[in-house]
Amino acid sequence: MTKGGPKRYFLSFVEECVMNPRYAGYIGGRMEIFDNEGDSQYAMDEDRYFTKDVGFYKFRDKWDFGNVGPRTLDRIRCELKEKYLDSI
């Protein structure tokens, strides 16, 4: 694969338990981003999500364990922040 190839990044969504009763019904966690061209077994970056929007599950199922290119990754990150990162 060439550097920055079409499927350079691997995505993994990790849901975390939201314990505070004040935020009952919220979905929280992180999207880990791995570089398929890198030597590390660890994520190179991550983005957070925290939302009550159950539409998030469809979004997660579409991209979880997927390989994407740089442009697609940028679009996914924007959508994650705009739709699924509620301010509290």
How confident is the model at residue 1, as a pLDDT?
Answer: 44
The residue ranges of the chain whose pLDDT is under 70 are 1-5
pLDDT of residue 74: 97
Distance CA 85, CA 83 (A): 6
pTM: predicted TM-score of the whole model, two decimal places: 0.88
- Tell me, what's the pLDDT at 69? 96
- What pLDDT sits at residue 4? 54
pLDDT at 2: 46
Residues 6+ apart with CB under 8 A from 43: 12, 32, 33, 34
How many whole angstroms separate alpha carbon 25 and alpha carbon 15? 13
Q: Give the pLDDT confidence score for residue 3 in this predicted structure.
A: 56
